[in-house]
Structure 1
């Protein structure tokens, strides 16, 4: 079960020609259908999915331990795996260590920034540094200068945060950068009432009230920054390295775009991954050996090489890094920034007792109250803490 962009008909034919005893039946990626198939005990044999968020799946015993396959593989080696693969690891209580329950195909450090130099120049704002992170407070000030409004309409957004995609991840990043944590040691409780969490939450509320970028109360029609940024109606967007893949053919735009390091809140430089897309094999797969052959082909074979060359994300394998595109000036600049940023890569804390979607929904609900001035930041932080802890308690009871 993959997305249509993940594995082409040509690649399927190539795999089947190299493995004549295996035939692939392709299912369109569908979360509702997948959950139904998992519940019925008749899941797909290989599934596309994010490394971040896999803790819940692993805690429920739904995925296969791939470590034995990895140790025997002549194609995939542990020492070749990028650190992002640690988000697919699970030791029975937390991510980051223990067995591998998935392999990442591509990823990005998603707090990094892309910006349009032409819009900066028009607003007489200095370009962002290629190596030194801007602070979040500075970033908001810059966004205000770049935002263009006329007749009650926003012609140019100063900053996009991909609000519709994630709130927990960027907030957790801000907290980590302040040397603090959202979760307790055993990941059964979260706390948004700490000084670090309240500071991060307050920044998001200020961003929304400033009207410099889309929010859930002022969403983009397509729920993504890509088309608005591509139309030169957004000066900065917080997106990973993969975002540059959108503009390879857009000569009019790619001459003006650049990548910048992840902004910082606090003294600790952290540039995490929010997702890390990869593949996993359900525990009740009926063809695990055959599924593993497809995993090897998909990650390290022609599909992996073609993905790397496309620039749509950083490969999950270190050995494929040299294949990232550097033909165009913006690609060379982004490659340099991304390579430097790797030293600050870090996983986000993740509880196995609540899904990422549920946590994001609770945060968004609380933020909306603050933005509409129905609640103070302190009251909203207390409320979201209570709401998520209720989810965590229920999840803990279900997982056992």
Structure 2
């Protein structure tokens, strides 16, 4: 079962809510939330994130703390934050946290890290830097969230049985396929009756992130240096948009014009109706079950240009709202979840790359596909590069704007040049408004 699909969509929506909220003062460790006496800790996260056994274990280890889990809900979180009555912990993405941090909605966790005996700043994987904020930009300064696990999400998984049936050579495990080659391969793996797709891009989850990676691979940049303006009119951006239009017009995979019913590639892939899906290392966690399909393999992130870039689109993690009432208790749960048995179990399950360096050795290598995927993931670490994260616009707005004009270009209502200009204009208006709001 793919437990990530709802989480990823929830993350994108949750990031979007921050743009409408007023600026609030940040808080630091030890300013509120004593764990003495009885404390009810409210955690807004995915239903699958905290099991009953984990909750029981944590509460046994921490008498007096009761954990109440509420399902991730962007609208509800928005309301709670605006009312000054937020959950004690919220789920969110490192890539996309700049907007939240710029508005002072999150607690600085640096003082907690400094005192912690189980979570050490030196043990954090670089992906955690997405939660850093220095008052002007992400990636630097104090840290406002801790990543749960992560993946380089533009890598590929494919069904070797479908490649065999179509007599198509397997994707290389060491040499990146170009995007043009990938589209050609996908056409060969797409059935004429429409029952089998050649390639899935998890279109419903993200467009900004993969397109941004494509631009980086060509040596370009979508944003200017202070992240106040975007440029989709560049040659690099238009080449990426053109590829997406070509993909959509070739009908080799789902788009927002012909979406999958459940909004995720997994069920279609597992049903042998999709040959390739662009998903991170975490996707391999689906196949550890003895009853799961075994004809799977992982391949490096495809490239557009000369520079390999394998990047995470989100880096799911937890953060403590600035106005949370039980911060000390919340930190205890973060320590347990991010460094205790739950973190060790996640690392050994294959559901993502550990967010702590000390847990990397626990990544599974028992099954043949796990060994192969582990090596690909390790090799791809050399090509890790963070995506730009502007504090003045939300990830959700970026995705919906790009999708709006890609749809029109696929339907030939706009040229790619016209779509690029329209995307640039719309996002720059939003960036200007966001800059005026934040200051």
| Paired residues for 1:123-202 under 5 Å | 123-150=166-193, 154-202=194-242
2:434 matched to which residue of 1? 395
Distance (Å, rounded) in 2 between the aligned partners of 1:326 and 1:300: 21
| Aligned with residue 242 of structure 1, among 282, 295, 303 | 282
Distance (Å, rounded) in 1 between the aligned partners of 2:192 and 2:204: 22
Contact map agreement 2:310 2:380 (CA 8 A) in 1 = yes
Contact map agreement 2:232 2:420 (CA 8 A) in 1 = yes
Distance (Å, rounded) in 1 between the aligned partners of 2:290 and 2:83: 46
**What is the CA-CA distance between 1:250 and the residue it aligns to?**
5.4
**What is the CA-CA distance between 1:358 and the residue it aligns to?**
0.8
**What is the CA-CA distance between 1:235 and the residue it aligns to?**
0.4
Gaps of 5+ in 2: 1-43
Distance (Å, rounded) in 2 between the aligned partners of 1:302 and 1:7: 12
| Aligned with residue 371 of structure 1, among 410, 413, 418 | 410
| Counterpart secondary structure, 1:236 | strand
Contact map agreement 2:286 2:292 (CA 8 A) in 1 = no
| Paired residues for 1:1-16 under 5 Å | 1-16=44-59
Distance (Å, rounded) in 1 between the aligned partners of 2:58 and 2:289: 29
| Counterpart secondary structure, 2:137 | coil
2:333 matched to which residue of 1? 294
Say if 2:264 is the partner of 1:221: no
| Aligned with residue 87 of structure 1, among 115, 126, 130 | 130
| Aligned with residue 316 of structure 2, among 254, 259, 277 | 277
1:25 matched to which residue of 2? 68
**What is the CA-CA distance between 1:165 and the residue it aligns to?**
0.5
Distance (Å, rounded) in 2 between the aligned partners of 1:240 and 1:138: 20
Matched residue pairs, number?
396
Larger mean Cα displacement after TM superposition, 321-330 or 137-146: 321-330
Distance (Å, rounded) in 2 between the aligned partners of 1:377 and 1:133: 26
**What is the CA-CA distance between 1:28 and the residue it aligns to?**
1.6
The Cα RMSD (Å) is 1.0
| Counterpart secondary structure, 1:49 | strand
| Counterpart secondary structure, 1:350 | coil
1:109 matched to which residue of 2? 152
**What is the CA-CA distance between 1:251 and the residue it aligns to?**
4.3
Q: When the two structures are superposed, what TM-score results if normalisation uses the length of structure 2? A: 0.89
**What is the CA-CA distance between 1:9 and the residue it aligns to?**
1.5
| Paired residues for 1:307-322 under 5 Å | 307-322=346-361
**What is the CA-CA distance between 1:252 and the residue it aligns to?**
5.8
Distance (Å, rounded) in 2 between the aligned partners of 1:250 and 1:130: 24
Find runs of 4+ consecutive structure 1 residues off by over 4 angstroms: none
Distance (Å, rounded) in 1 between the aligned partners of 2:90 and 2:422: 36
1:350 matched to which residue of 2? 389
Distance (Å, rounded) in 1 between the aligned partners of 2:47 and 2:246: 39
| Paired residues for 1:54-69 under 5 Å | 54-69=97-112
